[in-house]
Amino acid sequence: MCNNLCTFCLDTLAHNGTITSDEEVKKRIIDGRRKGATRLILSGGEPTIHPSYVKFIKLGRLAGYRRVQTVTNGRMFSYPEFLNRCLDAGLQEITFSIHGHNAKVHDALVGVPGAFEEEVKGLEMALADGRPIINIDVCLNKGNIKKLPELLDKFIGMGVKEYDLLHLIPFGMAWDEKHRNQLVY
């Protein structure tokens, strides 16, 4: 599941309104560690909306992962108590998916009014806390490519030092007739 509806989402066809069971996620966490993985990355859909998300962070630390990271739209981190529970449980790195330099661009791309404001608030609180490593993923597309310098300047000015610039993947909504011409630059 996801609480955004990104126009460029490559996983749209996999979003069916269900969440992966606790047992399945726990199995994957333990299996990964048994196979020698040292970094647990909780991703999605949107991982932070899973009811057992904090438990999965704790399990990752107990299983012996040296680093627990999440890739997220970051909206849930705008709730201070949730962010603190995650960091206290052992979350060490947060990759925020931010796709615009302002609310107009970002919210249009992710399909949720107010998403930018929530995400930036969560990012600011995570930076202020100082415990997690913070980085940003940007899916480059026609809607944001010309304003990439402004996006980078804004978040570098806030203290973010690492960015992943991602390309469109020709699947899901990014490649349907409605969105393809709006996204491919």
Per-residue pLDDT tens for 117-149? 999 999 999 999 999 999 999 999 999 999 999
* pLDDT tens, residue by residue, 9-68: 877 777 787 889 999 999 999 999 999 999 999 998 899 999 999 999 999 999 999 999
Query: Residue 150: which pLDDT band, with cuts at 50, 70 and 90?
Result: very high
Contact between 75 and 115 (Cβ < 8 Å): yes
For 168, which DSSP code?
Answer: P
- Predicted confidence at residue 77, as pLDDT, reads 98
CA distance 50 to 48: 6
pTM, rounded to two decimals = 0.95
Instruction: Find, among 167, 159, 112, the residue nearest to 137 by Cα.
Output: 167
| Greater model confidence, 72 or 5 | 72
Residues with Cβ within 8 Å of residue 165, at least 6 apart in sequence: 138, 140, 148
Residue 15 pLDDT: 74
pLDDT of residue 178: 84
Looking at residues 80-85, what average pLDDT do you find? Answer: 98
